[in-house]
């Protein structure tokens, strides 16, 4: 039997309210400052390095994102750490916060479905993340214009834009994970700790562990299989997917993200850049993987939330 009414009723109201909460919260301000300051430091370092080292590079502007100067990591490396932190910071108390404030049953007794509440919270947090990432992106490009003194080419801007989209999708994965934890764990502190633990494991430990796991299952005689298995396992981590996407998009000479076979090199001029569309095609599976992970995690949270008892 179909249930009556639209699941989207009240979605806009919830989204707007959550957005205004996010933008006015102290937590958001702290996170923004953290991201802006560290990212600016990284770009500043990159610009120094780019000036010193790179002579003639057709994609000079993209070097802004990827070049690092000791001891600071590159802008991209910063993002791969800070974006999950921001997303977890915005999502870890989404549902259990309502429980603990005892507002959940009062809100759900209004004529809306639970769908609207959960989805509204997700959209609001993702919008907040997107707004700060876009601001950051513009800031970096503006800074690059001023400090490098050369305008970026059209293709560079297009690549940087796709990179922005990938970063937002990457943020979505962690946000969905944090919201799943906020549904499962009644205590916000537990949800935050568990999400951070999962993030550390997936980002730092898993990529190192994947080759060892692969060795356990694949005979060492078949080197190609061993390498591809290890890579497949490592790709279970959204951080690996994000890293590969960034590599393909921001380094136009990247021809493939797997092991390179001789057949792929036929007719290739080593070190020559791929056209934008080909680079996007190289990164496409990873990009889709990030979006799919977001959807899977969100659906998990959705199912758990629908089945949850409202009473405190």
Partner 1 sequence: MKETVIEAKGLTKRYDTAIAVDGVSFSVAAGEIFGLLGPNGAGKTTTILMLLGLSDISAGTARVFGHDPAREPLAVKRRVGYLPDSVGFYDHLTAADNLHYTARLMGLTLAARKQKIPAALARVGLSEVANKRVGTFSRGMRQRLGLAEIVMKEARVAILDEPTNGLDPQASVELLDLIRSLKSAGVSVIISSHLLDRVQSVCDRVALFNAGKIALMGTVGELGRQVLGGGFAVEVEAEGGADIKQRLESLPGVRNVEEPSPGRWRVTCDRDLRGEAAAEVVAAGGRLNQLSLDHPSLETIYTRYFQSTQEVRHAA
User: For binding to partner 1 (CB under 8 A), which residues are involved?
Assistant: 1, 3-5, 9-10, 13-14, 17, 21, 24, 101-103, 105-113, 309-312
C-beta of 7: minimal distance to partner 1 in Å? 10
Closer to partner 1 by Cβ: residue 97 or 300: 97
As a whole number of angstroms, the distance between CA 171 and CA 174 comes to 5
C-beta of 9: minimal distance to partner 1 in Å? 7
What tokens does 169 get? Answer: 């999708």
Report the candidate in 163, 185, 200 with the shortest Cα–Cα distance to residue 290.
163
C-beta of 108: minimal distance to partner 1 in Å? 6
C-beta of 115: minimal distance to partner 1 in Å? 12
C-beta of 6: minimal distance to partner 1 in Å? 9
Contact status, residue 142 vs residue 148, Cβ threshold 8 Å: no
C-beta of 37: minimal distance to partner 1 in Å? 26
Closer to partner 1 by Cβ: residue 109 or 219: 109
Closer to partner 1 by Cβ: residue 108 or 247: 108
As a whole number of angstroms, the distance between CA 216 and CA 270 comes to 35
> Is the CA virtual torsion 87, 88, 94, 95 positive or negative?
positive
C-beta of 14: minimal distance to partner 1 in Å? 8
C-alpha to C-alpha distances, 164 to 79, 140, 157, 173, nearest whole angstrom: 11, 12, 10, 15
Closer to partner 1 by Cβ: residue 1 or 216: 1
Q: Nearest 5 degrees, angle CA 282-CA 223-CA 229?
A: 50
Closer to partner 1 by Cβ: residue 95 or 160: 95
Closer to partner 1 by Cβ: residue 16 or 212: 16
> Is the CA virtual torsion 75, 79, 80, 85 positive or negative?
positive
Q: In this structure, what is the dihedral angle of CA atoms 138, 139, 142, 143, given to the nearest 10 degrees?
A: -150
Closer to partner 1 by Cβ: residue 2 or 272: 2
C-beta of 283: minimal distance to partner 1 in Å? 41
Closer to partner 1 by Cβ: residue 108 or 139: 108
What tokens does 125 get? Answer: 């947090």
As a whole number of angstroms, the distance between CA 130 and CA 126 comes to 6
Report the candidate in 162, 192, 171 with the shortest Cα–Cα distance to residue 80.
171
Greatest Cα pair distance in the chain: 69
């Amino acid at each position: 039997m179909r249930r009556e009414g639209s699941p989207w009723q009240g979605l806009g109201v919830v989204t707007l309210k959550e957005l205004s909460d996010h933008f006015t919260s102290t937590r958001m301000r702290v996170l923004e400052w953290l991201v802006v300051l560290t990212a600016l430091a990284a770009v500043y370092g990159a610009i120094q390095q780019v000036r010193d080292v790179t002579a003639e590079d057709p994609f000079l502007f993209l070097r802004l994102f990827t070049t690092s100067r000791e001891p600071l990591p590159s802008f991209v490396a910063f993002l791969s750490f800070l974006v999950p932190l921001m997303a977890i910071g915005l999502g870890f108390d989404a549902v259990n916060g309502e429980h603990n404030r005892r507002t959940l049953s009062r809100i759900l007794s209004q004529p809306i479905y639970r769908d609207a509440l959960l989805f509204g919270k997700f959209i609001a947090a993702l919008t907040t993340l997107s707004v700060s990432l876009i601001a950051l992106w513009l800031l970096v490009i503006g800074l690059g214009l001023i400090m490098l003194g050369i305008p970026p080419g059209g293709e560079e801007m297009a690549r940087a834009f796709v990179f922005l989209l990938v970063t937002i999708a990457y943020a979505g994965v962690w946000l969905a994970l944090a919201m799943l934890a906020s549904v499962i764990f009644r205590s916000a502190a537990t949800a935050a700790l568990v999400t951070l633990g999962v993030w550390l494991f997936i980002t730092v430990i898993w990529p190192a562990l994947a080759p060892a796991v692969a060795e356990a299952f694949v005979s060492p005689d078949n080197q190609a299989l061993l390498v591809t298995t290890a890579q497949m396992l490592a790709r279970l981590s959204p951080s690996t997917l994000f890293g590969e996407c960034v590599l393909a998009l921001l380094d136009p000479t990247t021809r493939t993200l797997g092991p390179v076979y001789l057949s792929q090199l036929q007719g290739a001029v080593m070190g020559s850049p791929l056209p934008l569309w080909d680079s996007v095609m190289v990164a496409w599976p990873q990009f889709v993987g990030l979006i799919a992970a977001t959807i899977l995690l969100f659906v998990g949270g959705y199912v758990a939330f629908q089945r949850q008892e409202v009473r405190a």
